[in-house]
Amino acid sequence: MEINPVIIIGASGLGKAALDIFKSQDILVFCFLDTNEELHGAEIGEVSVMGAPSNDGFLKHIGKKCDAFVAIEDQETRQKVTQMLKERRKSMPVNAIHKDASISPSAYLGYGNFINAGARIGYDAKVPESCVIHSNAVLEHNAELEDLVTIGSGAIIGTGAKIGKGALIGSGAIISSNVIVGEGAQVAPGSLVMTEVKANATVFGMPAQEI
């Protein structure tokens, strides 16, 4: 099966990590696109930053000769760029999955997800669209994410836990089995979450308390 080259939208830290992921899978990265004009013409890992994401000269290739991956850390901007690709190019971003990640064949994966080295996605776990799962994070079986969730390095999402849209789970945090974390909530690094976290709340501690 022929694999298309990828255009990475976003040349920040997440974009650089995505480049590493695609290299791990021997997938060619055609170029970066970024709104920061100071980066235009620069090279990142021998891949050029060729212009802005709004440049039709590059966008016209997406969905035909190239696929796209949206590597923008700001969730709202990532969502807007993904929507632009859907509307203008009739194309969904591909997943960036490191070769050293472990994903159960029964897990559900949508589009545009970033899954770094050492991450483990368990049986029947759900990762829909535009989620960011950093190195060595674990989603136990039947864990469910909604869109735009970020899981920090080494965090553990317990069996049957549900993480709401746009929630941020810090590095090393543990979400106990069957716990619900609400939309837009933030769990501080290293926290142990044993009870439900309300939408847009921030929690911290062992066990975690709202702050």
193: Cα within 13 Å, side-chain hemisphere: 34
pLDDT at 1: 52
The pTM of the full predicted model, rounded to 2 decimals, is 0.94
Domains recognised in the chain with CATH numbers: 6-94 (3.40.50.720), 97-203 (2.160.10.10)
| Beta-bridge partners for 29 | 6
C-beta atoms surrounding 109 within 10 Å: 16
Instruction: Report pLDDT digits (tens) over 19-73.
Output: 999 999 999 999 999 999 999 999 999 999 999 988 778 778 888 889 999 999 9
Rama region for 105: left / alpha / beta (φ>0; ψ in -120 to 50; rest): alpha
Reported as a single tens digit per residue, the pLDDT across 128-179 is: 999 999 999 999 999 999 999 999 999 999 999 999 999 999 999 999 999 9
Dihedral angle over CA of 145, 166, 21, 158, nearest 10: -30
Distance from C-alpha of 88 to C-alpha of 68, rounded to nearest angstrom: 13
